Chains A and B, each alone.
Chain A
């Protein structure tokens, strides 16, 4: 192929070259298939790690629509995780509604209701100002959840009860539920939402977003409604975040304000860059690598922050394209060599 260095050489590996390639879809399907086969040979412990991965991967697919494709870096995206998580908590433990389908619908509705006004205010800005405004909204959310003890349970959080899937109740312990029916349910959601995202980024709408990222002024001359497109991207990414948050809360069994602290938003950006924000598959790879790495490091040392921080620094300095950037580089080298 010509221009083999594009992915490697630009500072932020640009999706333009990657996004339209079918390899992203294949890589996604391979990971999904591997995850579907995993319960047949992996330990229960590994499976309990995978459900948070599905949740984070969904949230990050949405995050990357905003970050990788539209060029807007949100530093408060954990807000949507908390919207999903607290929706699940209010539905199950306050209202006694256990249907997971209804929980998802409420999470989506709540995300849209919050994302539209917040996004309306935020997308007027770009670059560092967008990041700071989203950070401020995220922390606003955190302090509401943290301080208004009577409604939200304060720092204790709210319990999230086990939901019904398709109206069915499941016997057995919590682990059996999470690694059995809920595992496949969450994987199914990831698959469906991943395929939907694949359609979104390749649709005219997705191409508009990429045009906005490359040159917003030029895009607007060509008739792209920049603000409306950015707002749509923000709302869609918020909905993905809300769904991810609902799944995450059920695996944890608790919704607490920690989920929306700004360092959690920082971790989301970390995962996106770890996987490579320039590739469609990047968010999925990044969240998987992050979950596995964090679990491994935490089991070895109490100084896991040090290790994660050092990994992040090395990554940013030496491999800004992330894991998929490294893989892409190796792939093109291999192709040239043969």
Chain B
């Protein structure tokens, strides 16, 4: 019994992190109609910058309990890199999809070497921070409290994002711009500013996701390209552009991985693609996606 709880919690923790990155991908796709391959870079960037920030906080003599807020702040701060990146992407908004994909692919390559230059080729870890919060008893299993905190943070971010998009004035403007850019411009919306803000928020979701994961796993240069395919899997399963879909997709991917690791480790990654292909064949718009032409 406890084995299963352990497995499910591991899967949900993974899902909580992947959800953040996938939510960023969905937001940008929903509004700008761009599939951003560089979302993996933002994730890795958040992870590296988070480690640097925690090291800085430790050097200042702050207690290790501040790790989580420091990581959150670091993720939000480095997420501002979305502003200049959006300026670059602006050149291809009205272009062919292949060009948009290639531009973000180019960004992915550039970022990978920028991180290699700044933080070196060997993976970095942040292991002592993990223990700062101790462990907690959950349904008869001892789990690191940090994992539970991250799951809670991810749920809070998801709820906050949903409320923001559905209930606030700015959220309505964003959704209107996503629906019809020309019409909302005609009604006085500055769509350039909306796009810049949306992309930056999308970027921040990725960087925060990366920052939150470092106490549990190392920051490495490969994490960017590895996460891209996982985030892709999540949005395909859930449906492109749908936030609810990102949540469901992240849970499915996280749990499948957790089960596969225990039952058949060879099929860990394989099982995800099998589900992706099955979804694309049976329900190409994804579980929560709108039907498309």
Contact = CB atoms under 8 A, between A and B. Distances in A.
B218 interface: no
B149 interface: no
Interface in A24-40: none
Contact of B266 (A136, A148, A303): A148
A305 B112 contact: yes
A270 B102 contact: yes
Nearest to A270: B102
B284 interface: yes
Given A12-B99, A270-B105, A317-B92, A303 B277 contact: no
Interface stretch (A48-56, A186-194, A246-254, A306-314): A306-314
A276 interface: no
B112 A312 contact: no
A11 B96 contact: yes
Nearest to A118: B277
Given A128-B240, A131-B101, A132-B280, A147 B106 contact: no
A65 B264 CA distance: 39
Contact of B107 (A131, A146, A303, A313): A313
Interface stretch (A83-91, A137-145, A225-233, A325-333): A137-145
Interface residues of B, number: 46
B86 interface: no
Interface stretch (A96-104, A106-114, A159-167, A261-269): A261-269
Contacts of A148: 266
B94 interface: yes
Contacts of B266: 147-148
Nearest to B240: A128
Contacts, number: 131
Nearest to A148: B266
Given A136-B277, A316-B92, A317-B103, A309 B233 contact: no
* Chain B interface helix/strand/loop/mixed: helix
Interface stretch (B14-22, B62-70, B75-83, B224-232): B224-232
A127 B105 CA distance: 17
Nearest to A267: B105
A73 B277 CA distance: 17
Interface in B85-115: 88, 91-92, 94-99, 101-103, 105-114
Nearest to A140: B273
A135 interface: yes
Contacts of A75: 101
A312 B109 contact: yes
Contact of A12 (B98, B267, B268, B277): B98
A121 interface: yes
A133 B109 contact: no
A206 interface: no
Contacts of A320: 95-96, 99
Nearest to B38: A309
A269 B98 CA distance: 8
B97 A305 contact: no
A310 B277 contact: no
Nearest to B277: A136
Which of A75, A136, A144, A317 has the most chain B CB atoms closer than 10 A to its own CB?
A136
Contacts of A144: 270
A335 B121 CA distance: 51
Contact of A303 (B97, B113, B270): B113
A308 B109 contact: yes
B106 A143 contact: no
A19 interface: no
A129 interface: yes
Contacts of A146: 269
A262 B292 contact: no
Contacts of A309: 105-113
Contacts of A311: 106
A143 B269 contact: yes
Nearest to B267: A147
Interface string B243-267: 0000000000000000000000011
B101 A129 contact: no
B99 A310 contact: no
28 contacts: A12-B99, A73-B101, A124-B284, A128-B240, A131-B97, A131-B101, A133-B280, A135-B232, A136-B236, A139-B269, A140-B277, A147-B266, A147-B268, A147-B270, A262-B225, A269-B98, A269-B102, A269-B105, A270-B102, A304-B113, A305-B110, A305-B116, A306-B113, A306-B117, A309-B105, A312-B103, A313-B103, A320-B95
3 A-B pairs with least C-beta separation: A309-B109, A312-B106, A306-B113
Given A266-B37, A266-B105, 10 more contacts: A11-B96, A67-B98, A121-B280, A128-B240, A262-B229, A309-B105, A310-B106, A312-B102, A312-B109, A320-B99
